[in-house]
Amino acid sequence: MERMTSRQAFLYLFIFLIMFSANSVLAKPYYSQSYDTHRDPFAALQAARVQALTRGVPILIIAGGEWCRWCHIMDRFFKTHADIGKEFYDTFEVLKVYIGTDNRNEKFFAQYPELKGLPHFFIVNTEGTLLESKATNVLEKGSSYDAEAFRRFIQEWAR
């Protein structure tokens, strides 16, 4: 078997980085796609910190769960209001952290103020310092979310 030359190694690394970058741009990171009961929230926060630092944005932790009705309503709201969803994900590095009867992630959430309903937002900087704790009920309107309230919230944090 022949050894790889440094030039070949560089080429493989370059191709890997291009593929990784393309996937990063096209898809949300794994930790912002769902509320995984088994995901280590500390490790996910570390990964989110790296991305947030690279992008120059704060991290928005959403405490919730797949069982949470308003979490699903928020996901549908962002699909229905794609412009707001894009602004939201452009403004924050979003990290979904599960909380429920089968996994309360108590050690993780102990570092933040008490949850005031679900979903609940915690905004932290890249060092992990809490910048804001926000109940999402103030963003609700009827049986969904208020587009203008969400826009104002996002604009408060936009770069």
94 in helix, strand or coil? strand
pTM of this structure:
0.83
Walk along the chain (159 residues) and give the pLDDT tens digit of each residue. 556 666 655 544 544 454 454 444 447 888 999 999 999 999 999 999 999 999 999 999 999 999 999 999 999 999 999 999 999 999 999 999 999 999 999 999 999 999 989 999 999 999 999 999 999 999 999 999 999 999 999 999 997
Report the chain's terminal Cα–Cα distance, integer Å: 52
CA distance to 90, 92, 113, 128, per residue, from 72 (Å): 20, 19, 23, 26
Supply the CATH classification number for the domain 28-157.
3.40.30.10
By CB neighbour count within 10 A (0-12 exposed, 13-18 middle, 19+ buried), where does 134 fall? Answer: middle
| pLDDT given at position 107 | 97
CB 37 within 8 A of CB 99: no
